[in-house]
Structure 1
Amino acid sequence: GFDVAMKQQRERAQQASQFGTDYNQQLKSDQKTAFKGYDNDSYSATVVELFNSKDQEPVSQLNSGEQGIVILDHTPFYAESGGQVGDSGLLHLDGGVFEVTDTIKLGNAFAHRGTATTDIGLNRRVKAEINVQRRAAIIKNHTATHLLHAALRKVLGEHVTQKGSLCDSDKLRFDFSHFEGVTAQELYTVEQMVNDEIRHNHSKQTESMYIEEAKEKGAMALFGEKYDDEVRVVTLGDFSIELCGGVHVNRTGDIGLLKIISESGTAAGVRRIEAVTGKGALHFINQQTASLANIASLVKSDITNASSKVEQLVSRFKLLEKENSQLKQELAAQAGSDLVNNTIEINGVKVLIADLGSVESKALRGMVDELKNKMQSGVIMLATANGPKVGLIAGVTKDLIGRIKAGELVNMVAQQVGGKGGGRPDMAQAGGTQPENITLALESVSAWVTEKLA
């Protein structure tokens, strides 16, 4: 049946990676296809031109198994344009089908790209049948972009204009001009406004008119689109009116629901909203609900109270973090006091060189101040390592900074552990990335200090 054939088509399309060429740039057709897809899901048509994908040349026949392009005199398949992706589906003929994976425009011709499962030649009659479920999902997203555009202009201002869009079967993407990020409250208001218009269930009104007349009626034009003198105008209640050649739902209620999933910047002065509609919106909400339920379970709460429970836990965690840091600093200060017993003398100057293991780097400054007070006069060089990160600090009491500079000392050690640093003459810090070299680096301090004090 149709569903089985479509499943096989999708599998073959995934394998056809070489068939991703931009045919718009390489192929030309003088044919003209009459689009019948506004009111028809299937239509009888004649094959008027064929191209194979291998040579990208016109052919009289595509053999079974070949990939290529079929151009018909009439088609219900929408060709990618105005942000709406092209239709997929099947071209039925005696003995098999041509499986259409995408539809694009080649001039005035509609090019059905895909794979033949039977021989298909020029002048063959076919029944062209779109993938109705996929089309239904696409047009929900397409009509939703019209509502979204109108809502953004009402909420953010009339400076908002469309800068690009993509409407496929999974989601919609809408780019628009705006000078700053859209706030959470503004997004909420836009989303509510669109869903209000969906619930109002406006009927879609379409009419053809001259472009000047359309603009006088306030119809919005799509960014980057070229229009003929006569244009198609799509109106949704008194909420939205746009020039558009695309396919839409019959009533806004057919969209079901719109849910905005992200807002971001793509370029200077251009913002992007991504959203889902219909079943996609319900699926997204169900995923979010399941995620929230899981969080609620982890914090031993229900969904209603999960947010406040998480806030409590975060506050508690921050308090414990602060207490833990204070305890570490107190322990480090105590360890620092004990270090005084490890001082050595070089040319009459007290020198303390120590590897403190995994003491936190932010505790080092307090330790050096404490050691200076206890030593009264001297030179201090301390090192720590937390994972791959090395922390270094040098301290020199003020009576000695004319002979030894803390910045020079710490930089000398840092260069040996994959880092660099500097600071004031009396205290300087540095970092590094080679904790395995700390021992050798500290062993070099005595000789360096001896040379400076000579």
Structure 2
Amino acid sequence: MERRSGKELRELFLKFFEEKGCKRYHSFSLVPDDPTLLFTIAGMVPFKPYFLGLKTPEVTRATTAQKCVRTNDIENVGRTARHHTFFEMLGNFSFGDYFKPEIIPWAWEFLTERVGLDPNRLYATVYLDDDEAYDIWHEKVGLPKERIFRLGADDNFWAAGPVGPCGPCSEIIYDQGEKFSCGKPTCTVGCDCDRYLEIWNLVFMQYNRDEAGNLTPLPHKNIDTGMGLERLASVVQSVPNDFETDLFRPIMDKACELVNVKYGEDPKKDMAVKVISDHIRASAFMIADGILPTNDGGGYVLRRLIRRCVRYGRLLGIERPFLTELLPVVRESIGDEYSELIEQASAIEQVLSTEEERFSRTLSQGSDLMDSEIDKLTAAGRNILPGDVAFVLYDTFGFPLELTEEMCEERGITIDKEGFEAAMEEQRERARASSKQTSSVISKNVYTELADKIAPSPFCGYTKTKCEAQVKAIIVDGALAESAAAGTEADLVLSETPFYAEKGGQVGDTGTITAGGMTFEVADTIYPVADLIVHRGRVTAGTVKAGDSVSAEINVERRAEIQRHHTATHLLHEALARVLGKHVRQAGSIVTPTFLRFDFNHFAPVTLDELREVERLVYAEVLKNKPVVTTIMAIEEAKKTGARALFDEKYGDEVRVLDIEDFSTELCGGTHVKNTGEIGLVKIIREEGIGSGIRRITAVAGSSSLPLFQSFGLAVTSMVTMLGGDVETLMSKIESMVDEKKVLERKNRELQVKAAMSDIENSVKPRANAGGVDLIVEKFDDITPDLLRQIGDRIRQKYPNALMLLAGVGEEKRVALTAMASPEIVKLGAHAGTLLKAVAAEMGGKGGGSPTLAQGGAQSSKDLGKAFDAAPKLFEELMTKGK
């Protein structure tokens, strides 16, 4: 068998199935067009509507090398030979075309003749009663009966969901030899060890399962196969695990080089570099597909992967930022198939470096928490860190258990691993309950059925504002209807339309659809599924019937304002990239008749000077009145022009390329002005952060900008009148007033503290004492949380060994709570966070914090007295437990 690289195997597979008549598709995005999935988790995901009969495919044979992400078993990455978060699935698909008699011999031909695997080491599994597949393997391929295994539904039956298309499958197994065996006499195909390795799964989608569980043959039988490139490479390259293939090994070697260690000498360090090599690949591809670190959804998964990279880097001894140093090796090892890694290189580097820097600070905070907990244990004479504390360090601060163990070991502390695992399992259960990846069912509805039955409505709105058409369908209350009378809200589908349906951030058109005495007011135009354009509105006169000939006309003035804002968005995008850096790219947008909103990735607030420069660049292009040219071309040709693709768009083989000479070239299917001068003045009215690494600009253009400037002018004139002087001195006057306000506020705070402390000698007394620690509980009126801390600092001067719980009652009788404790009394068992949380609960409030400082509050002070009365007992319980 000839040794081949991962790149060569990928190309070998794709070319083989092209020879079999399959159309080669470039890998689809990791962000699927599927609400049931967070990521593209298999090669069949982009084709699922075809398998489920929701959409008619453009071809009947296809092949892909699909990038995939799965994170349901992330903790095992690096611990086993085969677990990954990012992997490539080699697949070939048939939509009612070839079936078992073709794919089984083809699979055999590819593995034995093209790849060169030893036929004598190959086995096959089939479903228990799939005699057809069994016979093809034995009689047509020639595989001996003793190397064909019949297995049950858990291993050899695939389903898209509880109901719908399903069918048996056949797995191809490769015998890696005795050195991979578990050594048990029963070791054979199906054993959990690594000797008999599944390398390819052939799914025969031939049945439909109804709600009662009955199977009926499908009118069109389908094929869906999937083979992991990494796994195939490990076999062809004769290495013991996927990580030692050329898809991972260069990345691991680079990580080892950074810390001057050698792979294979220390199992813990080997695991660390495996995790890093896997996660950096996943992170790079996720960012390239527009995913950015956030606190939920796919962004949360990305953030978790980046943080795991950093954590395991720490285990290797890498204290400085290092992730971007691995990116050149990632690009080289993956090959030329994924140009997005090159095209988005700047953005990937920016996101990784910013997130890495941010997490380094979080790690420091986690270290502070660990030090505090260990100090507390030491003071109490204990040496076992509670499992829930280790889990908080893992889940909140990103500490792997191994890192926590190392840090504890240095101070003679062990970890309650059972408690940690219990907390971890609780989290897994929560994740499983809420996971979007547990379902792969897409439900049929009236829109999906329509999309499959009728041709998409041609959109003529690029050149026309009005057209004649026929009513193809009427939907009322979610069901097809023959007609809709005046007063009825309905959806209409036309044979042709000038109405732009909401897409790519541009809102849908409004207007009228008329015929004789019938008028239908279109309130919105949408794509409920696929390419189906739906006009949503109300019949205001007469009755509309299916088959009617109608006249469809958009609101021209509204469309013109939308076009101004949409073209302005393209100018804004390019101007931001020129001012802030090439990493800037769109992360979402809304284009309306009255404003535009543009989200983009950037990792710091945009300064006023930068915003002014962005506006200057945009306005300069408007004044030049350049032609706005749209050209239709093949997607690959468009990429060669350097056209920028927008984040939230999905593109077909042919795309519309919008070009503003010497300034902006982007792929965009929206509608635009003919010349930049039509846009009018573009004014940014707000810049803000909306998430980690995501900024948002809101702006106006066209006729919307005049009222805005008029209101700005009125506001400035009014302030000049009130403050005196002129426009040039206005800012300095306002700055002086703001400074004066700050001085007065500071003096007011000082007076408040002084007033609150005026009788401190007499009013503040300990409420209880336990274990040599005093408890002080006090209420103050009209005091902010910051002032409570200042008061606490003053009280501590008189009572250095006191655990203080202070309440400030403010507006509408809301209560702010602050608890404070010195490190000295924390060693005696005091814990500010625990006490505050318990006392807050007594009045229906919430709160918590560290052992030395905690904050919280309640909506009402009516139970404050009761809570303070309970404080001494809660305090004594805390001190007793602390010992």
- Same fold at TM > 0.5: yes
Q: Which residue does 1:130 correspond to in 2?
A: 554
Counterpart among 306, 309, 317 of residue 733 in structure 2? 309
Separation of aligned partners in 2, 1:413 and 1:181 = 36
Separation of aligned partners in 1, 2:604 and 2:820 = 44
Q: Which residue does 2:306 correspond to in 1?
A: none
Q: Which residue does 1:206 correspond to in 2?
A: 630
Structure 2 gap ranges (5+): 1-444, 766-775, 810-814, 874-883
Q: Which residue does 2:517 correspond to in 1?
A: 95
Q: Which amino acid aligns with 2:619?
A: N
Counterpart among 222, 226, 230 of residue 651 in structure 2? 226
Is the counterpart of residue 73 in structure 1 residue 73 in structure 2?
no
Q: Which residue does 2:618 correspond to in 1?
A: 194
What per-residue deviation string (whole Å, max 9, x for no partner) do you get for residues 29-52 of structure 1?
A: 513433222222222x13141222
* Contact 1:89/1:101, CA 8 A, preserved across alignment: yes
1:421: how far off? 11
Q: How does 1:88-167 map to 2 (within 5 A)?
A: 88-105=510-527, 107-116=530-539, 117-167=541-591
Q: Which residue does 2:639 correspond to in 1?
A: 215
* Contact 1:422/1:430, CA 8 A, preserved across alignment: no
1:64: how far off? 2.7
Separation of aligned partners in 2, 1:212 and 1:381 = 68
With over 3 angstroms needed to count, the CA separation of the structure-2 counterparts of 1:57 and 1:193, relative to structure 1, is same
Is the counterpart of residue 280 in structure 1 residue 696 in structure 2?
no
With over 3 angstroms needed to count, the CA separation of the structure-2 counterparts of 1:149 and 1:440, relative to structure 1, is closer
Separation of aligned partners in 2, 1:429 and 1:82 = 46
Separation of aligned partners in 1, 2:807 and 2:613 = 51
Q: Which amino acid aligns with 2:537?
A: G
Aligned to 1:57, the other structure's residue is in SS state strand
Separation of aligned partners in 2, 1:422 and 1:180 = 29
Q: Which residue does 1:42 correspond to in 2?
A: 466
Separation of aligned partners in 2, 1:125 and 1:92 = 9
* Contact 1:49/1:58, CA 8 A, preserved across alignment: no
Separation of aligned partners in 2, 1:316 and 1:331 = 22
Separation of aligned partners in 1, 2:837 and 2:457 = 73
Separation of aligned partners in 2, 1:23 and 1:185 = 52
Is the counterpart of residue 62 in structure 1 residue 484 in structure 2?
yes
What per-residue deviation string (whole Å, max 9, x for no partner) do you get for residues 315-340 of structure 1?
A: 22333344445556666776557889
* Contact 2:501/2:533, CA 8 A, preserved across alignment: yes
Aligned to 2:620, the other structure's residue is in SS state helix
Aligned to 2:454, the other structure's residue is in SS state coil
Separation of aligned partners in 2, 1:293 and 1:119 = 55
Counterpart among 37, 46, 51 of residue 474 in structure 2? 51
Aligned to 1:139, the other structure's residue is in SS state helix
1:216: how far off? 2.0
Q: Which residue does 2:39 correspond to in 1?
A: none
1:249: how far off? 0.8
Counterpart among 656, 668, 674 of residue 250 in structure 1? 674
Separation of aligned partners in 2, 1:363 and 1:127 = 75
Separation of aligned partners in 2, 1:336 and 1:383 = 15
Separation of aligned partners in 1, 2:622 and 2:518 = 41
Q: Which amino acid aligns with 1:226?
A: Y
With over 3 angstroms needed to count, the CA separation of the structure-2 counterparts of 1:370 and 1:194, relative to structure 1, is same
Separation of aligned partners in 2, 1:303 and 1:180 = 30
What per-residue deviation string (whole Å, max 9, x for no partner) do you get for residues 344-372 of structure 1?
A: xxxxxxxxx99997697545765785899
Aligned to 2:512, the other structure's residue is in SS state strand
Higher strand share: 1
More divergent stretch after superposition (167-176 vs 106-115): 106-115
Aligned to 2:582, the other structure's residue is in SS state coil
What per-residue deviation string (whole Å, max 9, x for no partner) do you get for residues 254-309 of structure 1?
A: 11011223334445444332222112233333334444455555556655433322
Q: Which residue does 1:19 correspond to in 2?
A: none
Separation of aligned partners in 1, 2:689 and 2:542 = 47
State the identity as a percent: 36
Separation of aligned partners in 1, 2:835 and 2:642 = 72
Q: Which residue does 2:13 correspond to in 1?
A: none
More divergent stretch after superposition (292-301 vs 193-202): 292-301
Aligned to 1:35, the other structure's residue is in SS state coil
* Contact 2:518/2:544, CA 8 A, preserved across alignment: no
Separation of aligned partners in 2, 1:192 and 1:262 = 16
1:184: how far off? 3.2
- Larger gyration radius, structure 1 or structure 2: 1
Aligned to 1:38, the other structure's residue is in SS state coil
Separation of aligned partners in 1, 2:695 and 2:723 = 36
Counterpart among 305, 317, 320 of residue 744 in structure 2? 320
1:154: how far off? 1.8
TM-score, structure 2 length as denominator?
Answer: 0.38
* Contact 2:472/2:495, CA 8 A, preserved across alignment: no
Q: Which amino acid aligns with 1:149?
A: H
Coordinate RMSD, CA, aligned: 4.8
Separation of aligned partners in 2, 1:211 and 1:107 = 19
What per-residue deviation string (whole Å, max 9, x for no partner) do you get for residues 109-162 of structure 1?
A: 532222222112234322211111211111111111111122122222223333
With over 3 angstroms needed to count, the CA separation of the structure-2 counterparts of 1:155 and 1:69, relative to structure 1, is same
Aligned to 2:463, the other structure's residue is in SS state coil
Separation of aligned partners in 2, 1:249 and 1:413 = 61
TM-score, structure 1 length as denominator?
Answer: 0.69
Separation of aligned partners in 2, 1:156 and 1:286 = 30
With over 3 angstroms needed to count, the CA separation of the structure-2 counterparts of 1:152 and 1:24, relative to structure 1, is farther
Higher relative contact order, structure no. (Cα contacts within 8 Å, ≥ 6 residues apart): 1
More divergent stretch after superposition (435-444 vs 240-249): 435-444
Aligned to 1:305, the other structure's residue is in SS state helix
More divergent stretch after superposition (118-127 vs 266-275): 266-275
Q: Which residue does 2:598 correspond to in 1?
A: 174
Q: Which residue does 1:350 correspond to in 2?
A: none
Higher helix share: 2
With over 3 angstroms needed to count, the CA separation of the structure-2 counterparts of 1:391 and 1:65, relative to structure 1, is closer
With over 3 angstroms needed to count, the CA separation of the structure-2 counterparts of 1:68 and 1:332, relative to structure 1, is closer
Separation of aligned partners in 2, 1:370 and 1:150 = 62
1:310: how far off? 2.5
Separation of aligned partners in 1, 2:639 and 2:835 = 73
Structure 1 gap ranges (5+): 1-21, 343-352, 373-378, 395-400, 445-454
With over 3 angstroms needed to count, the CA separation of the structure-2 counterparts of 1:56 and 1:380, relative to structure 1, is closer
Aligned to 2:480, the other structure's residue is in SS state coil
* Contact 2:756/2:780, CA 8 A, preserved across alignment: no
Q: Which residue does 1:84 correspond to in 2?
A: 506
Q: Which amino acid aligns with 1:76?
A: P
